[in-house]
């Protein structure tokens, strides 16, 4: 996985652009957006593994962290 100042700046810019894009999808119901994003995320994660950018374990850890963040697991 990528770390460092340049990666942080790139991540922030990417988040800003994605946020602006998602705002443009405001006419869709949240569950529809969630499923559409899930389909795209699954494809992206598969590509990361196929191109050996991430290992299967990296993807498992990413998905586990996503689950924890989405469900508030471990927060008090």
| The predicted structure's pLDDT at residue 8 | 81
Q: Which residues contact 53 (CB under 8 A, 6 or more apart)?
A: 47
CA distance 17 to 68: 24
Q: Residue 34 has what pLDDT? A: 95
pLDDT higher than threshold 90 for residue 76: no
Contacts of 74 (CB under 8 A, 6+ apart): 68
What is residue 70's predicted lDDT score, i.e. its pLDDT? 94
The pLDDT tens digits for 5-55 are 677 889 999 999 999 999 999 999 999 999 999 999 999 999 999 999 999
| pLDDT exceeds cutoff 60 at 56 | yes
């Amino acid at each position: 996985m990528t770390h460092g100042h340049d990666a942080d700046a790139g991540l922030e810019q990417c988040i800003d652009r994605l946020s602006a894009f998602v705002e443009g999808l405001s006419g869709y119901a949240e569950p529809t957006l969630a499923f559409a994003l899930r389909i795209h995320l699954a494809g992206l994660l598969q590509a990361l593994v196929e191109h050996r950018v991430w290992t299967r374990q990296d993807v498992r850890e990413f998905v586990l962290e996503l689950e924890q963040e989405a469900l508030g697991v471990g927060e008090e």
